[in-house]
Structure 1
Amino acid sequence: MSALREQAEDYLAMRRALGFKLTTWGDKLLSFVGYLESTGASVITTEAAVAWATSTPRASTDPVHWARRMDVVRIFARHLKVLDPATEVPPEDVLSHRYRRITPYLYSPAEITGLLQAAGRLAPQLRAETWQTVLGLLAVTGLRVSEACRLDRDDVDLRSGVLTVRDSKFGKSRDVPVHESTAVALRRYDRLRDHLCPATVVPSFFVSTCGTRLDAANMPADFAGLLKVAGIAPVPGRRRQRIHDLRHTFTVATLLEWYQAGADVQARLPLLATYLGHIDPKSTYWYLSGSPELLSLVAARLEHAFGDRDE
């Protein structure tokens, strides 16, 4: 094992011990180390970092993708420079175009109903019941798909209607209260699951037809089939709708309801951020740009506020 690889492995172990998962990040770092080893390099240089970041496995020319790869090198290089002063830390203005928000798709109530009906036609019955309940839960709580898949039975309090989301993104856990109608749907699924699959092999609340935990990584592919059955066509010039867009739809719908009711949205936003599992309200603020209707309500409120000030 080269000295660089050993240092990279130690660094990843240290970060993981601090609670960072580093799934794809770790793979990228080891890929960069492998690149250096293949060229015979024993120290990180900006030139080598640029060469690796821009020579992606699929020959991507996306500057955002390049920048994110460069960030992996830059973070590790900062750590390594303390141990080896010869290490070059790539400047911030090299491959710096690292941030881009993908415009979310907002499902209409009719489209969500169509997705639930499409899920209800799946076979066997347990698969249909599981998909219907999961989609319904995502639509009314804004949970991440991975959070729903990780729910265990002990995490779902069917009496009080509170979900405990454990060790989610950024290592945070939170309680998510749900409406009584959602609790009723979860209790129904709980009974049907035990009836249709009495011998599950995991404590997961949602299970596959084999009695195993749902795999969040496989959900998008299955969801694409439901989009077709529900007749939800792709939007020209934009990427295909995603299951994650249900989270965007929930958030925008909540904000719309607050604005239409004349609520103090700024005061409530931290509550919504906590409910969604955001580390700070800034991530939630981004949803304000997700809907023309929402933007018009924001603009109208600002106009009213400034109008009052002028008077």
Structure 2
Amino acid sequence: MSGHGFTSVFAADLEGYLAFKSSMGCYGASRIWYLKQFDRYCADHSLANLDRATIEGWVTALQSSRPGPYRSWMSYIRDFGRWAHINGDDNAYVLSDHWKASFVRSQPYLLADTEIRLFFQAAARIEGSSPWTWQAVAFFALMHSCGLRTGEVRHLTPHDVHLDDGVIEVLASKGHRDRRLPLTGELVELLAGCDARTRGVIAGDRAPFFVMPTGKPVTPVAVGIIFNRIWDKAALTRTLEGKRPRPYDFRHHFAYANLQRWMADGTDVNAMLPYLARYMGHASLDSTYYYVHTSPDFMNSYAAITRDSDRLLPEVGF
């Protein structure tokens, strides 16, 4: 049996593939779970060839057990087939794009300045014994002021937060990219207060900067729960249909708020986009252009300013 519990004849290849993905900064548990399902299917059916019949047989079996439009899990077996082919299995089958569902990229909820102000006022009034009573403002302020991903804030350690220097280090983030970001004086003050309060409650050294009541790292579910609790406490509206606010929308707001500010100041937005991409940890400008195209207000204003110029922003290639 392999380190991940694989038992089929593909166990060694599956382990090699996961090791490769880990070296690229991809650690998702979902990938491992689905590949274990594939491994079990192959072991149960005594399959020894990574051919079309094996791959599509498993995909068909799994899809029939969970009908619906959700098919992103198919990318794992497609990627494994590519890896196996590159690494010497000339007959390895790469799942056809025919199996892909039509892709619709989710649209962000564009936070208004009033909503943000009311949200943080409500966050400062949280009551209870949970660490969120003193962590919430600092946690979401990092997303709002630095454009961090939710996971990047959750994974911060006390060693990554340099309050004396006024910087944080975002290490081994998406794609194994590191970056060092400056903090405003207000953020330093918030983080210092949060750190002091946590040290008074959690004895000894702690691994995460933001913690659950048990002292363990904050979970993604906990972030969503406290965000919704604060949103409702602020008496902000929530539509039953269409786009709904999420913690990640603070990152979106950071991006287009900077774009709008540069535009209003007469700054060359295109010249600033590479800096914004680096600051936000994007692998390429394509990801940064996405934020440009998701802000209708910005695009309308930008079009008014540049109507006498050639088109400056490329279309987003989804």
Give me the TM-score of the superposition, normalised by structure 1: 0.86
Contact 2:9 / 2:43 at 8 angstroms: preserved in 1?
Answer: no
User: Separation in 2 of the partners of 1:200 and 1:27?
Assistant: 35
Report whether the alignment pairs 1:187 with 2:192: yes
Give me the TM-score of the superposition, normalised by structure 2: 0.84
Q: What's the % identity of the aligned pairs?
A: 26
Partner of 1:25 in structure 2?
31
- Indicate the SS of the match to 1:3: coil
- How far does residue 23 in structure 1 lie from its aligned partner after superposition? 2.9
The alignment of Structure 1 onto Structure 2 pairs a total of residues equal to 302
Partner of 2:271 in structure 1?
267
Partner of 2:158 in structure 1?
153
- Alignment deviations for residues 256-286 of structure 1 (CA, whole Å, 9 cap, x no partner): 1111111111111111111111111210110
Point out 4+ residue stretches in structure 1 off by more than 4 angstroms: none
| One-letter amino acid of the counterpart of residue 11, structure 1 | Y
- How far does residue 49 in structure 1 lie from its aligned partner after superposition? 3.4
Report whether the alignment pairs 1:37 with 2:37: no
Question: Given the alignment, which residue of 61, 66, 69 partners 1:59?
Answer: 66
Contact 1:105 / 1:241 at 8 angstroms: preserved in 2?
Answer: yes
Report whether the alignment pairs 1:105 with 2:112: no
- Alignment deviations for residues 20-49 of structure 1 (CA, whole Å, 9 cap, x no partner): 324322322222232333344332343553
- How far does residue 77 in structure 1 lie from its aligned partner after superposition? 1.5
Question: Given the alignment, which residue of 120, 129, 149 partners 1:124?
Answer: 129
| One-letter amino acid of the counterpart of residue 170, structure 2 | V
Partner of 1:205 in structure 2?
209
Report the more deviating stretch, 159-168 or 19-28.
Answer: 19-28
Partner of 1:144 in structure 2?
149
- How far does residue 99 in structure 1 lie from its aligned partner after superposition? 4.0
| One-letter amino acid of the counterpart of residue 23, structure 1 | A
- How far does residue 61 in structure 1 lie from its aligned partner after superposition? 2.1
| One-letter amino acid of the counterpart of residue 155, structure 1 | D
Question: Given the alignment, which residue of 73, 77, 80 partners 1:76?
Answer: 80
CA gap of 1:257–1:16, structure 2 versus 1, over 3 A, is same
| One-letter amino acid of the counterpart of residue 61, structure 1 | G
CA gap of 1:18–1:251, structure 2 versus 1, over 3 A, is closer
Partner of 1:174 in structure 2?
179
Report whether the alignment pairs 1:90 with 2:95: yes
CA gap of 1:87–1:279, structure 2 versus 1, over 3 A, is closer
Question: Given the alignment, which residue of 250, 258, 276 partners 1:254?
Answer: 258
Partner of 1:233 in structure 2?
237
Contact 1:36 / 1:48 at 8 angstroms: preserved in 2?
Answer: yes
User: Separation in 2 of the partners of 1:57 and 1:116?
Assistant: 45
Segments of 5+ residues of structure 1 without an aligned counterpart are none
User: Separation in 2 of the partners of 1:228 and 1:52?
Assistant: 44
